[in-house]
Amino acid sequence: MNIYYDSEKECWYTASRDTYLFGASNMCLANLMPAANHAAFPIVPHEDKVGPLIGIMIARNKHNKLIGNGELFKQLQEKLQQHAGGIIVIFPPENLQTEKLTGYIFCSSRNSWIKAITPLPNIVYNRVPFRKTEKQEPFQTAVSFLKEQGIPFFNASFINKWELHQLFRDSPFLKEHLPKTTLLKQKEDFADFLLTYKNIYLKPVEGFKGKNIYRIRLKQNDSIHVSTTEETKYYSSLNQVWEQYQQDWLQREYLLQEEIDGALYNGNRYDFRLLVTFENRYVLTGVGVRQSTQQNVTTHIPSGGKLLSYQEVQQKEHDLFFKKIVDHCGILLTQKYGFTGEFSIDACVDKNGQYYLFEVNAKPMLFDEKEIEEKRCQQLIKLFYSLTNFPFQNKSQEMTHPKT
């Protein structure tokens, strides 16, 4: 069935004579004759309710403009309409009120996002793009309110890389796949780590997209090469390096991490980007392969990395490792941060066949591989239906949550 939205009167209604409740705040839909200029949305009737209404929390930038992965949200709305139905509303945390919110819904007939007032959503998916937003009062207040209302809220926050390392280090299985890592607090930490491992990385604890990463190499003549994605600089002593970079390195938290001698493909190292979603258990949704080309500091595409097909490097050993690691990671993330519906893993294999896990991202960016994004949307839609108790078309079995 369809429900309709009258933007002028800020009214949701249905053409049905039956009474239906909409959203977590149980808004009673009006019974009206549909108008041609009103946005229509396929939706699932379930007992006396219609839905699901899926909230996606985003944020405003310094120019007060809403920021989020609009392409992903649009794809999710289109996928919902291809199945039984449902509505996605995107909103910043400060727009959440006691029984309603002000956000934006995607209208397919107009191919645009339109402003709308909706009841409280049946579920909220956290896609806030800024760490600083999650530390501010509106976000914290919104999360507390959703918890009080019993509204599912998943992927609760960004992940701190040092916290993650400590969490995984306590796992007998995962600790075998972690590069040697420590927190940089003072010059002695840097000196000891560099002298021990020779080739190391400095990574910001709250970094993203491969930015502000340094690769540092201690040469046999005691010279030190410091590389970023833009350039390499050369120093004659450790003291020189420290004097040059200490202000930046101590101003924000950095990790020291040993460099892994990664396997090569056509002369350049590569690593894996795994997309993981929850469907009764944590499952591998797709594998992206990124290869360094212009520089060897990072394989991130925006920094000059190259996209490879997984089939080019696929081995049964890779497949087995991925299958093992995704469930271990997902269960621990849920225990630490609350239910995690999707995440991505950056991993690699070294020249000796040993696998390493570098980091986990609780808010995966869009994958360049269309087939992975297609499957991702499908998995998220199943999850939305499951967490809101609305029936999913062709759903084979009921989902259960991992233990927290």
Residue 293 has pLDDT above 80, yes or no: no
Copy the structure tokens of residue 84: 């039984």
3-state helix, strand, coil in the chain (%, to 5): 30, 35, 35
DSSP code string of 249-273: HHHS-EEEEEPP-B-EETTEEEEEE
What would the mean pLDDT of 358-385 be, rounded to a whole number? Answer: 93
The predicted pLDDT at position 297 comes to 64
Residue 386 phi, psi (nearest 5): -60, -45
Copy the structure tokens of residue 316: 């049964």
What SS3 state is found at 274?
A: strand
As a whole-number percent, the residues of the chain with pLDDT over 90 amount to 82
Could you give the angle at the alpha carbon of 256 between the alpha carbons of 254 and 260, nearest 5°?
135
Model pLDDT for residues 174-226, shown as the tens digit of each residue? 999 999 999 999 999 999 999 999 999 999 999 777 788 999 999 999 999 99
Model pLDDT for residues 170-187, shown as the tens digit of each residue? 999 999 999 999 999 999
Lowest mean pLDDT among 268-272, 305-309, 355-359, 377-381: 305-309
Residue 308 has pLDDT above 90, yes or no: yes
What would the mean pLDDT of 320-334 be, rounded to a whole number? Answer: 96
What SS3 state is found at 246?
A: helix
- Residue 331's nearest CA partner among 220, 137, 148, 170 is 170
Measured between its terminal Cα atoms, the distance across the chain in Å is: 36
Outline where 150-237 has alpha helix (H). Answer: 161-169, 187-197
Copy the structure tokens of residue 238: 């450790």
What's the predicted TM-score (pTM) here? 0.90
Tally of CB atoms within 10 A around 391: 11
Q: How many CA atoms lie within 13 A of 315 on its CB side?
A: 10
What SS3 state is found at 85?
A: coil
Model pLDDT for residues 240-262, shown as the tens digit of each residue? 999 999 999 999 999 999 999 99
All domains in the chain, ordered by first residue:
2-154 (3.40.50), 180-258 (3.30.1490), 261-386 (3.30.470.20)
Q: For residues 149 and 78, is the Cβ–Cβ distance under 8 A?
A: no
Q: Quick one: DSSP state of residue 311?
A: G
Q: How confident is the model at residue 371 (pLDDT cuts 50, 70, 90)?
A: very high
Q: Quick one: DSSP state of residue 297?
A: S
- How many whole angstroms separate alpha carbon 292 and alpha carbon 307? 9
Mean per-residue pLDDT of the chain: 92
